[in-house]
Amino acid sequence: MKIMKTIEKIPGGLMLVPLFLGALIHTFAPTSGEYFGSFTNGLMTGTVPILAVWFFCMGAGINIKATGTVLRKSGTLVLTKIAVAWGIALIASQFMPENGIQTGFFAGFSVLALISAMDMTNGGLYASIMQQYGSKEEAGAFVLMSLESGPLVTMLILGSTGLAAFHPQAFVGAVLPFLIGFILGNLDGDLRVFFSKATHTMIPFFGFALGNSIDLGVIAKTGLAGILLGVLVIFVTGIPLMLADKYLGGGNGTAGLAASSTAGAAVANPMIIAEMKPEFLPVAQSATALVAACVIVTAILVPILTAYWSQYMKKKNGGEQVTEESKAIA
């Protein structure tokens, strides 16, 4: 059976298929973990420890010796993405109720859902797109996108906009596994290779554990709202990213558009934030469902839009993508 290949054909499938299976179990047999106990219960409810290992391995896989060009492009895209999410949080907090929108077409929308959907780029999707439509430097820009992974950026945005107050040790605790992995991976190349292999492997495990905290009834309620949020993510983050790529990163906007997706790992952020700040629990489930929809929508639309934009820029520039690096070589 070609189970793996089938899953990989689904946008974000390695994360979303296990998540959906976990959600099925939680919806129709919510006490399964307690019934079986032991390791089975740990696998079904261990979102935080599984993610902690994933963050550690993610940090270990980042090479500090990346070229200046790659770091510049990475930094431009990452900082722009975070800045846009921060701005949206600031604006949305002025109009949205504290517990999110409860009724109507936009039911489930909350500041937590908006931030989680917009502050993390799907690095794997970005790298694969840019390997086809960009330069090696642009494809390698995903190295710093790993810094967006996890709840730290979401916590920083919520804290800096006054929407939540986190104790200093909470910030340290959120980033410490990542930093330890980063240090070890750069002290020893063999450790970097060893731990980075687990990054991909861990994804279905935290997807399954996360799914076991979701009621499918909540996902059904998102309906078209989830699709709309996915489109908004591309539009709201894509335009600033394209401008930043063109005027700060030396590109033609293609890399910026390719970075306008929602990362699969972002699905975990609402529940993690809610565990640290219980006041977000009322909106955490709906936010998780909306972010999951964003992962799928952006994974489908971003490659298509990027391909069209890349072709347009090639025609505009006489069949060649003109970047700052190509000009320098010429």
Question: Is position 72 within any domain?
Answer: yes
Q: How far is 197 from 192, CA to CA, in rounded Å?
A: 9
Question: Is position 303 within any domain?
Answer: yes
CATH of the domain at 312: 1.20.1530.20
- What per-residue string of b and e applies to 279-314 under the rule 16 or more CB within 10 Å gives b? ebebbbbbbbbbbbbbbbbbbebbbebbbebbeebb
Question: Is position 224 within any domain?
Answer: yes
Task: Check residue 65 and give its pLDDT.
Answer: 73
CA atoms within 13 A on the CB side of 216: 13
The token pair that represents 6 in the structure block: 């089938």
In this predicted model, what pLDDT tens digit does every residue of 260-291 receive, in sequence order? 999 877 888 898 898 888 888 888 888 988 99
Question: Which of these, 267, 278, 262, lies nearest to 164 by C-alpha position?
Answer: 278
- Rg of the chain over Cα atoms, rounded to whole angstroms, equals 20
Question: Is position 6 within any domain?
Answer: no
Question: Is position 8 within any domain?
Answer: no
In this predicted model, what pLDDT tens digit does every residue of 199-224 receive, in sequence order? 778 878 877 887 787 777 766 766 78
Per DSSP, 259 falls in state: T
Domain tally, the chain: 1
The three-state (H, E, C) secondary structure of 166-227, written as one string: CCHHHHHHHHHHHHHHHHHHHHCHHHHHHHHHHHHHHHHHHHHHHHCCCCHHHHHHHHHHHH
Q: Which domain holds residue 294?
A: 13-329
In this predicted model, what pLDDT tens digit does every residue of 156-169 receive, in sequence order? 898 888 877 777 77
CA distances from 162 to 30, 89, 165, 278 (A): 35, 10, 7, 16
pTM, rounded to two decimals: 0.73
Question: Is position 5 within any domain?
Answer: no
Q: How confident is the model at residue 27 (pLDDT cuts 50, 70, 90)?
A: confident
Say whether pLDDT at 98 is over 90. no
Q: How far is 252 from 53, CA to CA, in rounded Å?
A: 37
107 backbone dihedrals φ, ψ, rounded to 5°: -55, 130
Task: Check residue 161 and give its pLDDT.
Answer: 80
Q: How confident is the model at residue 307 (pLDDT cuts 50, 70, 90)?
A: confident
